[in-house]
Amino acid sequence: MKFTWFNLMPWPYLPDDFREKNRSVWVDIDQELFDPERSHAVYNTYMDLLEYAGTIGFDGIGVNEHHQNGYGIMPSPNIIAAGLARRTKDAAIVVLGNSIALYNPPVRVAEEFAMLDCISGGRLVAGFPVGTSMDTNYCYGQIPSLTREKYQEAHDLIIKAWTTRKPFAFNGRYNKLRHVNIWPRPIQQPHPPIHIPGGGSVETYDFCIDNTYSYSYLSFSGYIRAKALMQGYWDRVAERNAPDASPYRAGFAQTICVAETDEEAERLYAPHVNYFYNRCLHVYPGFADAPGYRTIKTIQTGALSQYAPPRGGYTQLTWKDLIEGGHVIAGSPETVRQRMEELIKSLNVGNIFCLMHVGDMPADKCMYSTKLFAEKVMPKLRNMFPDFADDDRFWCKPMAKRVTAGSLPSEREAALVGAQG
Amino acid sequence: MELKTVATPHVPVRYLEGGSGEPLVFLHGAGGVTADDPFLAKLAENFHVYAPMLPGYGDSEECNELRDMLDITLHYWDVVEALGLKDPIIVGQSMGGMIAAEMAAIAPHDVTRLGLICPAGLWLDDHPIVDMFSALPYEMPALLFHDAEAGAAMLTAGRNVEDPGFLQTYLVQNARQLGMAGRILFPIPDRGLAQRMYRIKAKTILVWGDSDKLIPPVYAQEFKRRITGAQLVSIPEAGHMVAVEKTKETVAAIQRLV
């Protein structure tokens, strides 16, 4: 199993009447609600929490990309990842990911991911999302029905840039580049492992299967509602005659809160879970799915947008509903272990993206929950898939000998350089 | 009107044909066109009407090769040629008006009569056009019609929103039609027409509803200013769907092209 501690980086100061006074947390969210001076502490605390998770046994620490979004103040995950690469030692740096259709030209992603891989000593796990319709179409203006074609071309260009050892010309439809020759290139060969976040597109299933990329379903609605979608993926894995059904071909994001007892979990975390589901996920439905963004084939499978709220909306859901529905896995270490085991088995997933900072959760509660999970839950889930214990195709392969950041010679030693001259 | 198919280099094109008189090619807006369209019926009393559908509209085949304004403009010239027409009257509504104006700008000697009914294609920073793509279905009648209530009834006629298959059918149709329209309209319906409009030589009639809330009448003045000799027919108590709300008046305006 690979456990990645993930922080969406929500803005923790959305007002109590946010839902009533605002139509969307995303795209056209009120500028006045962001306070740059308060964000100084928010960003640093969030990065501290990621670094903390990297010291207590998580396999990876994860960041992602959203734009104009009140629950994800990380338009550039690579900036956060660069900070993490310097201040952590062993954890994988999971960037899930860069919306590659938005980078102009996309060799920028090939370069920045190469830099992250080099700085971290080969600890990068790379993600290439198509990007949500909110980010890609409504914030970044990409034409919905051409987004996938542009994404595909960006992917082909990045892989070629990573794996070609001579300058080459790239005559794409969206990218005309006469001299592609990235410098630096990644440590990991032929390139860092790639995870593709998807929301049920059949095309994305096939893309992952055909390229040996891991398919990740980053949902907020929990593992029970994800069953049909993930089964669709595994059916497709079988249909396309993939050589195996390794659980590492898939990943899943789950909101998790751990306390000493189930009651304590509710007392400690219910307000923050409520903040997340009722303020952070308050997305104007008109932004959820620009016409042409999803393919006809995908719509016909009946998959709704992953941002479509449950019937009646989240406001109707109590803590009990969220727990029973599996949106949130919360409780004592034993409760969480049981539910996690159910999740891992029923979805057949080897990569878990643990959403352990929830909504406006303060740092101390987040650390408490994180430590309990790392110490009392994670060890018991480690060997769920013994048959695939050696499957390292979907995880990073760091250099054996890595430097430690901040290992300059002392000023005294440096001064000797002149004396020797 | 009769639904037919004509072959073009990129894709077979579905089109409606009917009436008699001078040939007139009608280019529909982002909402599409159907055989029972009252405006087409009225036009057909005086003209031989051809209404080709943009690929993806109605039951027509999609065409991935048409990606941008030039592709779509040349495609419509391919359609005109495939229909065997020479210098037909070209009339376009909204998105269709944008395409018609491009056709007239790119081949100014091949079109001598042009009707633009509240066309898209220009952008004024002081008068931003509503983001139609993020509008919810229930918001559309007020944007499209002078009489929103009557418009709502018209838009929902024959649709059973309680039918479980309805949503999926609706989403598929939107993805096919507006997905295609988005290639020239999303996120801002400006693909550089303004700098090409000086080339238009056709006699041009502009038709605009006074209470158009989607593309407000200030755009009528901008089109008029940029097309030499263009005449503007402003129609009171009509919104963006002026051709439906004031069919007789709109057809009368188009007849001034003859």
Domain range summary for chain A, segments of one domain joined by +: 2-420
CA–centroid distance for B48 within its chain: 18
pTM: predicted TM-score of the whole model, two decimal places: 0.95
Find the residue in B nearest to A139 (Cα).
Answer: B187
Provide the pLDDT for residue A371: 98
Is the minimum CB–CB distance between B130 and chain A shorter than 8 Å? no
Query: Which chain B residues have a beta carbon less than 8 Å from that of A300?
Result: 168, 172
> A343: Cβ–Cβ under 8 A, 6 or more apart, which residues?
A223, A252, A254, A326, A329, A349, A352
Q: How far is A148 from chain B (nearest CA, A)?
A: 12
Give bridge partners of residue B206 from the DSSP assignment. Answer: B116, B232
CB neighbour list of residue B129: distance below 8 Å, 6 or more residues apart:
B120, B123, B188, B189, B214, B215, B216
Q: What is the pLDDT of residue A298?
A: 83
d(CA A135, nearest CA chain B) in Å = 13
- Can you read off the two tokens belonging to residue B202? 């056709």
- Which residues of chain B make contact with A146, given a CB cutoff of 8 A? 67, 183
Instruction: List Cβ neighbours of A282 (8 Å cut-off, separation of 6 or more).
Output: A18, A19, A22, A24, A25
* Long-range contacts formed by B69-72: CB under 8 A, 24+ apart: B69/B102, B69/B184, B69/B191, B69/B192, B69/B193, B70/B106, B72/B99, B72/B102, B72/B183, B72/B184
CATH architecture of residue range(s) B2-255:
3-Layer(aba) Sandwich (3.40)
Place of tokens 């395409």: B99
Across the interface, which of B135, B176, B177 has its CB nearest the CB of A286?
Answer: B135
Domain spans in chain B, listed from the N-terminal domain onward: 2-255
CA angle A269, A272, A278 (to 5 degrees): 135
Task: Name residues 126-155 of chain A within 8 A of B (Cβ).
Answer: 137-138, 141, 143-146, 149
DSSP category for residue B94: T
Q: Quick one: closest CA in B to A298, which residue?
A: B172
The answer to whether the beta carbons of residues A358 and A276 sit under 8 Å apart is yes
Residue of B102, B95, B103, B84 whose CA lies nearest to B195: B102
Question: B218 in contact with A at a CB cutoff of 8 Å?
Answer: no
Check if B172 contacts A (Cβ < 8 Å).
yes
Per-residue confidence (pLDDT) for residue A203, from 0 to 100: 86
Contact B3, B35 (CB under 8 A): yes
Contact: A144, B174; criterion CB under 8 Å: no
B171 touches chain A (CB under 8 A): yes
Spell out the residues 6+ positions from residue A76 whose beta carbon is closer than 8 angstroms to its own: A65
Q: Does B187 touch chain A (CB under 8 A)?
A: yes
Residues A340 and A257 sit within 8 Å (Cβ to Cβ): no
Stretch (H or E) spanning B219: helix B218-226
Does the beta-carbon distance from B135 to A290 stay under 8 Å?
Answer: no
B49 Cα distance to chain centroid: 14
- Which chain B residues are within 8 Å of A293, Cβ to Cβ? 179
Question: What does the angle CA A98 – CA A101 – CA A105 come to, to the nearest 5 degrees?
Answer: 95
Contact A144 B186 (CB under 8 A): yes
How far is it, in rounded angstroms, from Cα B117 to Cα B137? 23
Q: Say if the Cβ atoms of A291 and B133 lie within 8 Å.
A: yes
Distance from CA of B186 to the nearest CA of A (A): 6
Each residue's pLDDT, cut to its tens digit, for chain A (421 residues) gives: 999 999 999 999 999 999 999 999 999 999 999 999 999 999 999 999 999 999 999 999 999 999 999 999 999 999 999 999 999 999 999 999 999 999 999 999 999 999 999 999 999 999 999 999 999 999 999 999 999 999 999 999 999 999 999 999 999 999 999 999 999 999 999 999 999 998 888 889 999 999 999 999 998 889 998 999 999 999 999 999 999 999 999 999 999 999 999 999 999 999 999 999 999 999 999 999 999 998 888 888 766 555 566 666 777 789 999 999 999 999 999 999 999 999 999 999 999 999 999 999 999 999 999 999 999 999 999 999 999 999 999 999 999 999 999 999 999 999 999 876 5
Look up residue A330 and give its DSSP letter: E
ipTM rounded to 2 decimals = 0.94
β-partners of residue B5 are B14
Q: Taking CB atoms and an 8 Å cutoff, what residues of chain B touch A302? A: 168
Q: Alpha carbon of A41 to those of A37, A45, A47, A53, B102: distances in Å?
A: 8, 6, 10, 18, 53
Positive or negative: CA dihedral A144, A145, A150, A155: positive
The token duo for B134 is 């993020």
Phi, psi of A69 (to 5 degrees): -135, 125
CATH of domain A2-420: 3.20.20.30
Q: Which residues of chain B have pLDDT under 70?
A: none
- Residue-wise pLDDT for B56-114, tens only, equals 999 999 999 999 999 999 999 999 999 999 999 999 999 999 999 999 999 999 999 99
Q: Are residues A251 and A195 in contact, defined by beta-carbon separation less than 8 angstroms?
A: yes
Which residue is closest to A286 within chain B, CA to CA? B134
